[in-house]
């Protein structure tokens, strides 16, 4: 598939935007990964617990453990104990998610500063190990993550000689953010979606434009071939001027190109050149192909090929202006032409161009009654009739091309 200039430019823009989005994404992921390696250890005392909700920045994890209910009991040695349910809560006020965390719960101490012994009866939401001095709590998998601003509960039933007041804790774990918390993630994601929509829309429109272009080229080929066939009809009618329409079309296009006209205009003038003598179809063969001098009346009949051509092309609306070439190509710059005697710039530009091309071909091609004129003669004819028969500016282009050997 061959890409044109604007398509190549669009693809370059898409590629640059894509690279920028990838860079934003990579940078965001990198920042995120760095943040996630942050390990923490926090010791929390009873005093800290009381600060829950006060937004103290130094303490961003809060732990509480309270005795819910208790009942009397006896241990294996027959000694009286207190059984109690202890319910704990850990609240994450750190602004980040906490993962892979564990907690040390220090056993309350007696008057002598020794840890009070206790025996587990049951526990929930994790594994608890009591080494006498403290309890190590490893949460169950479903508690492994504490999202920011959320709390998790834990607890156990324990028998001890007294009511226990757990007030010292140590927590360790990792702060973990999730990628969508980073603005860069959304910039990259939304940017990519917009980019994708844009690329798809562009691809669809480009495919449509290609199809239209192909269709247009096909239509133009049909028009061109049809015109060429018509031109062959016209030229077949006049046995003196075989191939004349095709050559006038060619010269007219050369002049238009040299004048700096657009491709569309050049194409149009090519069609006009092919059709300029179409009115000859309406001229009787015995007049058109008469050998010998024409009478005044016959000359007038031949002149009618301009108006007849104009009428024939009047309804050719898909190529607007095509009739001008047929109708006005025998107008002269000095106003002495036919059929309307228009002067100078009153004559449509395309007709003035065809007028020069028509005269040039008449002089430059062999006819059955004479050979083509020599180059010097043609040049002097063109020069001498500049401003009278020909538009002086247009004929200059023709003279220059002819001198340069380009036609
Ligand atoms: Fe003509």
State the pLDDT at residue 2: 79
- Cα separation values, 325 from 156, 262, 369, Å: 105, 18, 27
Q: Is residue 183 part of a domain?
A: no
* Average predicted confidence (pLDDT) for the chain: 90
- Judgement on whether residues 162 and 241 belong to the same structural domain of the protein: no
- Judgement on whether residues 282 and 149 belong to the same structural domain of the protein: no
State the pLDDT at residue 96: 83
Q: Is residue 109 part of a domain?
A: yes
Q: Tell me: the pLDDT tens digits for 195-205?
A: 999 999 999 99
| Closest to 270 in 3D by CA, of 283, 261, 280 | 261
Distance of CA 298 from the midpoint of ligand 1 (Å): 15
State the pLDDT at residue 274: 95
State the pLDDT at residue 58: 53
State the pLDDT at residue 349: 96
Strand order in the sheet with 118-124: 61-74, 80-92, 151-160, 118-124
Residue position matching structure tokens 């994601």: 189
- Tell me the Ramachandran region of residue 387: left when phi exceeds 0, alpha when psi lies from -120 to 50, beta otherwise: left
- Judgement on whether residues 163 and 242 belong to the same structural domain of the protein: no
The number of distinct structural domains making up the chain is 2
- Judgement on whether residues 254 and 400 belong to the same structural domain of the protein: yes
Distance of CA 220 from the midpoint of ligand 1 (Å): 25
89 forms bridges with which residues in the sheet? 64, 153
What share of the chain in percent tops pLDDT 90?
71
Q: Tell me: the pLDDT tens digits for 58-75?
A: 557 888 899 999 999 887
Q: Tell me: the pLDDT tens digits for 129-143?
A: 999 999 999 999 999
State the pLDDT at residue 368: 67
Is the whole model's pTM more than 0.75, yes or no? no
Q: Tell me: the pLDDT tens digits for 166-183?
A: 989 999 998 888 888 899
Domain termination site, one of 167, 182, 211: 167
Q: Is residue 345 part of a domain?
A: yes
State the pLDDT at residue 280: 93
Domain termination site, one of 112, 139, 167: 167
Q: Is residue 6 part of a domain?
A: no
With 0-12 CB in 10 A as exposed, 13-18 as middle and 19+ as buried, what is 315?
A: exposed
Q: What's the CATH code of the domain at 342?
A: 1.10.3210.10
Q: Is residue 316 part of a domain?
A: yes
Q: How long is the chain?
A: 407
Which range of residues forms the domain containing residue 349? 237-404
Q: Which residues of 274-313 are buried (b: 16+ CB within 10 A; e: fewer)?
A: bbbbbbbbbbeeebbeeeeeeeeebeeebbbbbbbbbebb
Q: Which pLDDT band holds residue 49 (cuts at 50, 70, 90)?
A: low
Residue 97: count other Cβ atoms within 10 Å of its Cβ. Answer: 20
Q: Which pLDDT band holds residue 9 (cuts at 50, 70, 90)?
A: very high
Residue 43 · residue 57 · CB < 8 Å: no
Q: Tell me: the pLDDT tens digits for 78-119?
A: 788 999 999 999 988 888 889 999 999 999 999 999 999 999
Q: Is residue 373 part of a domain?
A: yes
State the pLDDT at residue 54: 47
- Judgement on whether residues 137 and 242 belong to the same structural domain of the protein: no
- Judgement on whether residues 248 and 163 belong to the same structural domain of the protein: no
Distance of CA 326 from the midpoint of ligand 1 (Å): 7
Distance of CA 406 from the midpoint of ligand 1 (Å): 24
Domain termination site, one of 109, 134, 167: 167
Q: Is residue 346 part of a domain?
A: yes
Q: Is residue 82 part of a domain?
A: yes
Distance of CA 400 from the midpoint of ligand 1 (Å): 24
Q: What's the CATH code of the domain at 125?
A: 2.60.40.290
- Judgement on whether residues 67 and 155 belong to the same structural domain of the protein: yes
- Judgement on whether residues 255 and 391 belong to the same structural domain of the protein: yes
- Judgement on whether residues 145 and 257 belong to the same structural domain of the protein: no
Q: Which pLDDT band holds residue 33 (cuts at 50, 70, 90)?
A: confident
- Judgement on whether residues 160 and 244 belong to the same structural domain of the protein: no
- Judgement on whether residues 254 and 115 belong to the same structural domain of the protein: no
- Judgement on whether residues 160 and 263 belong to the same structural domain of the protein: no
Distance of CA 306 from the midpoint of ligand 1 (Å): 7
Distance of CA 246 from the midpoint of ligand 1 (Å): 13
């Amino acid at each position: 598939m061959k890409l044109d200039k604007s398509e190549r430019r669009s693809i370059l823009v898409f590629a640059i935007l894509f690279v920028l989005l990838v860079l934003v994404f990579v940078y965001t992921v990198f920042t995120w990964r760095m943040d996630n390696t942050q390990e923490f250890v926090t010791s929390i005392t009873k005093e800290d617990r009381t600060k829950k909700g006060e937004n103290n920045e130094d303490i961003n994890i809060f732990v509480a453990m309270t005795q819910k209910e208790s009942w009397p009991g006896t241990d294996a040695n027959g000694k009286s104990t207190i059984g109690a349910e202890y319910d704990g809560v850990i609240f994450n006020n750190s602004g980040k998610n906490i993962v892979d965390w564990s907690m040390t719960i220090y056993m309350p101490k007696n008057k002598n500063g020794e840890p009070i012994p206790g025996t587990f009866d049951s526990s929930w939401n994790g594994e608890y190990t009591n080494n006498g001095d403290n309890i190590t709590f490893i949460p169950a998998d479903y508690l492994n993550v504490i999202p920011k601003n959320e709390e998790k509960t834990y607890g156990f039933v324990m028998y001890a000689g007294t009511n226990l007041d757990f007030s010292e804790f140590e927590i360790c774990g990792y702060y973990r953010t999730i990628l969508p918390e980073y603005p860069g993630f959304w910039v990259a994601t939304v940017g990519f979606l917009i980019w994708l929509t844009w690329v798809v829309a562009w691809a669809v429109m480009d495919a449509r434009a290609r199809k239209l272009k192909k269709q247009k080229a096909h239509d133009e080929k049909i028009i061109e071939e049809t015109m060429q066939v018509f031109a062959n009809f016209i030229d077949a009618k006049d046995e003196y001027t075989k191939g004349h329409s095709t050559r006038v079309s060619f010269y007219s296009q050369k002049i238009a190109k040299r004048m700096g006209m657009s491709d569309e205009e050049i194409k149009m003038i090519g069609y006009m050149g092919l059709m300029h003598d179409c009115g000859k179809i309406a001229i009787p063969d015995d007049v058109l192909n008469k050998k010998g001098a024409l009478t005044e009346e016959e000359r007038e009949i031949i002149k009618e090929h301009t108006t007849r051509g104009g009428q024939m092309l009047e309804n050719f609306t898909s190529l607007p202006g095509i009739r001008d070439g047929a109708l006005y190509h025998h107008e002269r710059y000095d106003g002495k032409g036919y059929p309307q005697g228009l002067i100078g710039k009153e004559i449509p530009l395309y007709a003035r161009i065809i007028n020069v091309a028509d005269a040039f071909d008449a002089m430059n091609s062999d006819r059955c009654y004479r050979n083509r004129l020599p180059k010097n003669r043609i040049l002097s004819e063109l020069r001498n009739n500049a401003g009278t028969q020909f538009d002086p500016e247009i004929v200059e282009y023709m003279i220059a091309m002819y001198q340069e050997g380009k036609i």
